[in-house]
């Protein structure tokens, strides 16, 4: 079985780390963001992906905290701290 | 495993029949047996009203069963209406966001759709239920289902909700994009059902859609290769079905489909998968993301074309409600008030019902005592069978009321918010917010609470929840609390008129269970069931008015489940306990008491009332003597040295042993032991007085506040429920966990009772 503990993808297709990456945790209430990459274990990544958390998806923070509420694809989803830290956002979007 | 046939609601199938239909009624049964059923599978995301639609289509005539080897329910029914509609079998599949699977329970949907389920076979048509207000995410599953190669009909549900939100979906345009019929429906209002049924009928023999997601070249190549090699291994499988199975296996390393295929096809497949995945990775694609990326790219374009925003989205009522309901402090306050109200309602509403049931059983018991001659049969029926059944049914009102609350809150969408609010605190214990509902249900009865843990996906989290569920003080413990508190705790006011010591003690006992559950959960998560808690991930559906039918149906089903599981175990066990308390019956006791009766006659010759009283006293004394001599009584005396340190005498020990399989038995056994005859309940003043008077051979009183407290604490923490252990065994499919639960709880209960007795003893004196 191929062991791939981390699913790290990037919209640009590259694999290098970006300086000062912004995660979901840094969003305040009402802020929007676009997902850039998701750093997490396979299983969680698949679940997130199925719920719509994919590269390029736009989301809006409704209620920050642990867990937080975001709106993605018209649906409100509660996200725990672990998932929040794993979702990196594109730095320039606001 | 059992299947329950439910016949509820409208039996008038004629309501939906065509005017010209000739067949109806009993003839339909024969017709069903003769023709092969057409099978229609219903899939969709959770919270899309799928079950409401299923209910509307089947008219509530459903069968609930189990898929082999998993805990997911199988729900099937026939289309409501006259033939040929009534030969169409509908199967309601569990809500899912995707066809991928990490555990056997999740794989059920794909299995049934591919025709791997023996009982159903390959479905002739698939209905995908889509929530019009959340088109984007719902279409993910739809695109997967379209690729299976069976005819598909899309039911576009909740168009009223979308309309309110200012969103209009063009079903014709969507139908063109997807290549399959799209029927707008509003399941809750029964609107569009006729069109849906017509569409299903028309599409049964239609051509399947040819729409297919276009994956990047490297993925396609590997996918085609894998499909070919899988088809070779599994003959008779249609090409599209093989392809979707290959897709879910290839892109989900370590997933359930892979595990199963490797088990079936051998290590060769594992190597092939590894090679193909390496090639995909080398080409720069991410296995996990590629499917979602490709599908959502197409979905986003489609949504743009078919959905128009007629009005800018206003914060819906749902969102405005959430501003308070998901607020850290306010939301929690609302939750606590709701819980408080719920418990208050349970105890106040249930009381009259419980009295009614109790009264009924007492009356029946008295009737049997009169009708049947004294002896083993009478005793077995009255003290064994009736007592057992009565014990279970007395708690049914409380349990049903709690289920009602939970069903209403779940149906309206609030439960997800409750899980969200509590997740923060539960994660401190290493648990997920989803554990809240099972633990809440366990306050009524642990049996349905443990069954409710099926919604927790992570195996370790689920086990921890199951293991601490019995610590939540269930309603069966209440009679013991009420008896002891009523007899020994004074009613001194603690908070003026609002709270007295008795109520405080009751509350404290509930908290004892919770307080002990916390370190146990922490310990389990750090040692035996070590592992990271799955981070919270749950959709918060839009609030909606709960549907009376759905709620009623849910409560009915759960009540039935409770009666069957708890009822059969408790009933069987009460019979055994009865036998242990009945035999042996030495003739010497009969002789002694007969002699007393004979002697009493001349003593009270002219006072019939006093004579009757004396006879009753002799009868009770005889019953008590028999109990002392019985197997149960001897067991109680045998363990007396062990329970002395916690303040108990042999009689309490006997009653507690008898209560091990079923707590409810405790009060009745105490009644018998204290020579009162066994139709005692916790409010019997006779029993309370007798307890206050009971003394050791040396004259010391047996019962005191420390003893009462130690008994109650023991009951709070001990696992005295055969039903719970049976359900743990069934849900975890092993004997290890019920044994572990029983052991740790009994040990803890003893130690806690010891500490309580010793400490309280020193404080009081």
**SS3 string of B402-459?**
HHHHHHHHHHHCHHHHHHHHHHHHHHHCCCCHHHHHHHHHCCCCHHHHHHHHHHCCCH
CA distance, residue A16 to nearest chain B CA (Å): 13
Closest to B137 (Cβ–Cβ): which among A43, A51, A82? A51
Q: Which residues of A touch B137 (CB under 8 A)?
A: 51-52, 73-75
Residues 6+ apart with CB under 8 A from B303: B135, B136, B139
CA distance, residue B286 to nearest chain A CA (Å): 6
Residues 6+ apart with CB under 8 A from B665: B387, B391, B574, B577, B658, B659
Nearest-Cα residue of chain B relative to residue A73: B136
- Residue B715 is predicted with a pLDDT of 93
Q: What is the mean pLDDT of chain B?
A: 81
Cα-Cα-Cα-Cα dihedral sign, residues B119, B123, B129, B134 = positive
Cα separation, B489 vs B483, in Å, equals: 10
Q: What is the pLDDT of residues B653-674, one digit of tens each?
A: 888 988 888 887 787 777 666 6
- Residue B736 is predicted with a pLDDT of 92
Q: Which residues of A touch B97 (CB under 8 A)?
A: 50-51
Phi, psi at A75, each rounded to 5°: -115, 140
Per-residue pLDDT at B6 exceeds 70: no
> pLDDT tier at A14 (50, 70, 90 boundaries)?
very low
* Nearest partner of B74 among B142, B26, B2, judged by Cα: B2
CA distance, residue B274 to nearest chain A CA (Å): 5
CB B457 within 8 A of CB B722: no
Report which secondary-structure segment, H or E, holds B182. strand B182-184
Q: Which residues of B touch A77 (CB under 8 A)?
A: 537-540
Average pLDDT for B70-85: 74
Q: What is the pLDDT of residues B289-318, one digit of tens each?
A: 788 888 888 888 999 899 888 877 766 777
CB contact under 8 A, B538 and A78: yes
Q: Which of A8, A50, A61 to mutate to test the interface with B (most CBs of B within 10 A)?
A: A50
- Prediction ipTM score: 0.80
Tokens of B707: 């003893």
Q: Which residues of B touch A23 (CB under 8 A)?
A: none
CA distance, residue A64 to nearest chain B CA (Å): 10
Bridge partner residues of B2 (DSSP): none
Cα-Cα-Cα-Cα dihedral sign, residues B103, B109, B112, B113 = negative
Tokens of B117: 């389920």
Q: Which pTM value belongs to this model?
A: 0.72
Q: Which residues of A touch B280 (CB under 8 A)?
A: none
CB contact under 8 A, A82 and B278: no
Q: What is the pLDDT of residues B455-476, one digit of tens each?
A: 777 788 889 999 999 999 888 8
CA quadruple B228, B234, B239, B240: dihedral, nearest 10: -110
- Residue B44 is predicted with a pLDDT of 92
Per-residue pLDDT at B647 exceeds 60: yes
Cα angle B530, B427, B512 (rounded to 5 degrees) comes to 90
CB contact under 8 A, B100 and A46: yes
Interface of A with B (CB under 8 A): 1-2, 4, 7-9, 13, 38, 42-52, 54-57, 62-63, 65-67, 69, 73-83
CB contact under 8 A, B535 and A65: no
CB B710 within 8 A of CB B505: no
Cα separation, A80 vs B1, in Å, equals: 36
Report which secondary-structure segment, H or E, holds A58. strand A58-63
> In B3-152, where does DSSP find H-type helix?
26-34, 50-58, 104-114, 135-146
CB contact under 8 A, A77 and B539: yes
B325 by DSSP, 3-state: which?
helix
Q: What is the pLDDT of residues B138-156, one digit of tens each?
A: 898 999 999 888 899 999 9
Cα separation, A69 vs A46, in Å, equals: 19
Cα-Cα-Cα-Cα dihedral sign, residues B405, B406, B412, B416 = positive
> pLDDT tier at B72 (50, 70, 90 boundaries)?
low
Tokens of B210: 């040819």
Tokens of B475: 């309603």
Cα separation, B705 vs B708, in Å, equals: 5
Q: Which DSSP state fits B605?
A: T
Cα separation, B366 vs B679, in Å, equals: 10
Closest to B536 (Cβ–Cβ): which among A13, A49, A80? A80
Average pLDDT for B401-406: 85
Residue bearing the bigger pLDDT, A10 or B354: B354
CB contact under 8 A, B532 and A82: yes
Q: How far is CA B296 from CA A53, A54, B140, B177, B178, in A?
A: 10, 8, 7, 14, 14
> pLDDT tier at B157 (50, 70, 90 boundaries)?
very high
Strands (E), B235-329: 307-309
- Residue B284 is predicted with a pLDDT of 84
Closest to B289 (Cβ–Cβ): which among A47, A55, A75? A55
CB contact under 8 A, B293 and A56: yes
Per-residue pLDDT at A7 exceeds 50: no
> pLDDT tier at A8 (50, 70, 90 boundaries)?
very low
Closest to B292 (Cβ–Cβ): which among A43, A50, A74? A50
Write down the residue that tokens 């937080």 correspond to. Answer: A68
Closest to B253 (Cβ–Cβ): which among A1, A47, A74? A1
Is the preceding omega at residue B97 within 30 degrees of 0, hence cis?
Answer: no
Instruction: Report the side by side order of strands in the sheet with A22-23.
Output: A22-23, A87-89, A32-38, A58-63, A68-72, A75-79, B537-539
- Tell me how far the alpha carbon of residue B357 is from its chain's centroid: 24
C-beta pairs of B322-330 under 8 Å, 24+ apart in sequence? B322/A62, B322/A63, B322/A69, B322/A76, B322/B417, B322/B540, B325/B414, B325/B417, B326/A63, B326/A69, B326/B417, B326/B420, B326/B421, B326/B540, B328/A65, B328/B421
CB contact under 8 A, A77 and B540: yes
> pLDDT tier at A2 (50, 70, 90 boundaries)?
very low
Cα separation, A80 vs A65, in Å, equals: 9
* Architecture of the domain delimited by B4-203: 3-Layer(aba) Sandwich (3.40)
Is the preceding omega at residue A67 within 30 degrees of 0, hence cis?
Answer: yes
- Residue B61 is predicted with a pLDDT of 64
CB B68 within 8 A of CB B81: no
Q: What is the CA radius of gyration of chain A?
A: 13
CA distance, residue A20 to nearest chain B CA (Å): 23
> pLDDT tier at B529 (50, 70, 90 boundaries)?
confident
Average pLDDT for B185-199: 89
Q: Which residues of A touch B307 (CB under 8 A)?
A: none
Q: What is the pLDDT of residues A19-78, one digit of tens each?
A: 556 888 888 888 888 888 888 776 677 778 777 787 778 888 999 988 999 988 778 899
Tokens of B152: 């598909």
Q: What is the pLDDT of residues B230-241, one digit of tens each?
A: 887 766 567 777
Going from N- to C-terminal start, the domains of chain B cover 4-203, 217-284
Cα separation, B83 vs B66, in Å, equals: 27
Cα separation, B638 vs B660, in Å, equals: 16
Q: What is the pLDDT of residues B9-48, one digit of tens each?
A: 333 333 333 333 333 344 444 444 445 678 999 999 887 8
For helices B501-526 and B736-764, the axis angle rounded to 10 degrees is 140
Average pLDDT for B172-182: 92
- Residue B747 is predicted with a pLDDT of 95
Per-residue pLDDT at B744 exceeds 50: yes
Residue bearing the bigger pLDDT, B159 or B455: B159
Per-residue pLDDT at B281 exceeds 80: yes
Report which secondary-structure segment, H or E, holds B651. helix B650-658
Nearest-Cα residue of chain B relative to residue A72: B137
Residue bearing the bigger pLDDT, B268 or B394: B268
Ranking B118-132, B530-544, B710-724 by mean pLDDT, the lowest is: B530-544
Cα separation, B571 vs B381, in Å, equals: 11
Burial profile B366-391: b = 16 or more Cβ within 10 angstroms, e = fewer: eeebeeeeeeeebbbbbbbbbbbbbb
Closest to A76 (Cβ–Cβ): which among B140, B433, B540? B540
CATH superfamily of A22-89: Ferrous iron transport protein A (FeoA) (2.30.30.90)
CA distance, residue B534 to nearest chain A CA (Å): 8
Per-residue pLDDT at B682 exceeds 60: yes
Cα separation, B569 vs B565, in Å, equals: 6
Average pLDDT for B613-620: 79
- Residue A11 is predicted with a pLDDT of 46
CB contact under 8 A, A2 and B277: yes
Tokens of B714: 């023991």
Closest to A9 (Cβ–Cβ): which among B137, B286, B319? B286
Per-residue pLDDT at B746 exceeds 90: yes
Nearest-Cα residue of chain B relative to residue A76: B540
Cα separation, B285 vs B305, in Å, equals: 28
Is the preceding omega at residue B84 within 30 degrees of 0, hence cis?
Answer: yes
Per-residue pLDDT at B192 exceeds 80: yes
* Nearest partner of B426 among B279, B359, B525, judged by Cα: B525
Q: Which residues of A touch B292 (CB under 8 A)?
A: 49-50, 52, 54
Nearest-Cα residue of chain A relative to residue B416: A78
Per-residue pLDDT at B712 exceeds 90: yes
Closest to B326 (Cβ–Cβ): which among A44, A54, A63? A63
- Residue A17 is predicted with a pLDDT of 47
Q: Which residues of A touch B274 (CB under 8 A)?
A: 1-2
Closest to A78 (Cβ–Cβ): which among B133, B134, B536? B536
Per-residue pLDDT at B675 exceeds 70: no
Q: What is the pLDDT of residues B483-518, one digit of tens each?
A: 788 788 887 777 666 667 877 888 889 889 999 999
CB contact under 8 A, B539 and A51: yes
Ranking A49-58, B259-268, B698-707 by mean pLDDT, the lowest is: A49-58
Closest to A54 (Cβ–Cβ): which among B100, B277, B289? B289
Nearest-Cα residue of chain A relative to residue B133: A74
């Amino acid at each position: 079985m191929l062991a791939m503990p981390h699913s790290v993808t990037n919209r640009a297709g590259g694999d290098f780390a970006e300086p000062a990456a912004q995660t979901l945790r840094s969003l305040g209430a009402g802020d929007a963001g676009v997902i850039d990459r998701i750093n997490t274990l396979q299983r969680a990544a698949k679940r997130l992906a199925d719920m719509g958390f994919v590269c390029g998806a736009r989301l809006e923070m409704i209620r920050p905290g642990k867990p937080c509420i975001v709106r993605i694809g018209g649906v409100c989803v509660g996200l725990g701290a672990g998932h929040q830290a794993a979702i990196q956002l594109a730095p320039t979007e606001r | 495993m059992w299947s329950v046939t439910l016949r509820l609601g409208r039996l008038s199938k004629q309501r939906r029949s065509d005017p010209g239909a000739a067949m109806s009624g009993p003839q339909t049964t024969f017709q069903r047996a003769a023709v092969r059923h057409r099978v229609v599978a219903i899939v969709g995301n959770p919270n899309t009203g799928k079950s409401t639609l299923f209910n509307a289509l089947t008219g509530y005539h459903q069968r609930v069963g189990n898929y082999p080897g998993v805990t997911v329910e199988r729900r099937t029914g026939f289309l409501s209406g006259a033939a040929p509609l009534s030969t169409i079998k509908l199967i309601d599949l569990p809500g899912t966001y995707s066809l991928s699977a990490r555990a056997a329970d999740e794989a059920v949907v794909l299995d049934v759709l591919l025709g791997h389920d023996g009982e159903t076979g390959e479905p002739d048509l698939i209905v995908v239920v889509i929530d019009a207000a959340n088109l984007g995410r719902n279409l993910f599953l739809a695109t997967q289902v379209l690729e299976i190669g069976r005819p598909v009909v899309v039911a576009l549900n909740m168009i009223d909700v979308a309309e309110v939100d200012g969103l209009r979906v063009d079903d014709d345009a969507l139908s063109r994009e997807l290549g399959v019929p799209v029927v707008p429906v509003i399941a809750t209002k029964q609107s569009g059902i006729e069109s849906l049924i017509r569409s299903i009928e028309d599409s049964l023999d239609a051509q399947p859609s040819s729409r297919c997601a276009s994956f990047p070249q490297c993925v396609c190549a590997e996918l085609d290769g894998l499909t070919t090699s899988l088809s070779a291994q599994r003959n008779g499988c249609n090409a599209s079905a093989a392809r979707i199975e290959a897709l879910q296996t290839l892109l989900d390393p370590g997933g359930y489909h892979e595990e199963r295929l490797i088990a079936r096809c051998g290590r060769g497949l594992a190597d092939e998968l590894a090679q193909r995945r390496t090639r995909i990775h080398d080409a720069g694609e991410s296995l996990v993301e590629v499917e979602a990326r490709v599908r959502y790219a197409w979905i986003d374009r489609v949504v743009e074309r078919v959905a128009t925003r007629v009005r800018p989205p206003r914060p819906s009522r749902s969102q405005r409600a959430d501003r308070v309901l998901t607020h850290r402090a306010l939301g929690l306050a609302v939750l606590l008030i709701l819980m408080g109200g719920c418990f208050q309602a349970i105890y106040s509403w249930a009381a009259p019902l419980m009295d009614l049931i109790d009264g009924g059983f007492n009356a029946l018991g008295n009737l049997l005592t009169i009708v049947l001659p004294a002896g083993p049969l009478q005793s077995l029926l009255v003290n064994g069978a009736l007592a057992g059944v009565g014990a279970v049914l007395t708690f049914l009102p409380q349990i049903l009321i709690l289920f009602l609350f939970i069903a209403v809150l779940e149906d309206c969408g609030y439960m997800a918010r409750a899980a969200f609010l509590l997740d923060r605190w539960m994660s401190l214990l290493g648990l997920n917010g989803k554990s809240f509902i099972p633990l809440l249900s366990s306050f009524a009865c642990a049996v349905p609470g443990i069954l409710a843990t099926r919604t927790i996906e992570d195996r370790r989290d689920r086990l921890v929840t199951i293991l601490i569920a019995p610590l939540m003080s269930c309603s069966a413990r209440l009679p013991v609390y009420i008896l002891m508190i009523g007899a020994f705790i004074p009613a001194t006011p603690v908070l003026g008129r609002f709270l007295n010591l008795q109520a405080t003690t009751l509350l404290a006992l509930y908290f004892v269970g919770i307080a002990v559950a916390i370190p146990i959960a922490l310990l389990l998560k750090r040692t035996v069931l070590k592992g990271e808690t799955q981070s919270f991930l749950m959709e918060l559906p839009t609030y909606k008015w709960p549907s009376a039918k759905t709620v009623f149906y849910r409560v009915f089903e759960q009540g039935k489940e409770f009666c069957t599981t708890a009822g059969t175990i408790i009933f069987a066990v009460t019979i055994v306990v009865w036998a242990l308390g009945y035999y042996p019956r030495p003739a010497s006791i009969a002789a002694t008491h007969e002699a007393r009766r004979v002697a009493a006659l001349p003593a009270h010759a002219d006072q019939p009332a006093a004579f009757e009283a004396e006879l009753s006293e002799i009868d009770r004394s005889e019953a008590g003597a028999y109990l002392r001599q019985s197997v149960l009584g001897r067991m109680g005396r045998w363990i007396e040295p062990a329970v002395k340190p916690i303040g108990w005498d042999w009689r309490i020990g006997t009653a507690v042993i008898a209560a091990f399989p079923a707590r409810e038995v405790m009060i009745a056994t105490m009644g018998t032991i204290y020579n009162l005859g066994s139709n005692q309940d916790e409010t019997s003043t006779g029993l309370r007085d007798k307890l206050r008077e009971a003394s050791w051979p040396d004259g010391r009183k047996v019962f005191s506040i420390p003893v009462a407290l130690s008994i109650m604490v023991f009951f709070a923490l001990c696992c005295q429920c055969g039903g719970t252990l049976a359900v743990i065994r069934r849900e975890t499919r092993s004997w290890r966990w019920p044994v572990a639960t029983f052991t740790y709880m009994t040990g803890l209960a003893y130690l806690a009772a010891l500490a309580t007795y010793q400490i309280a003893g020193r404080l009081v004196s």
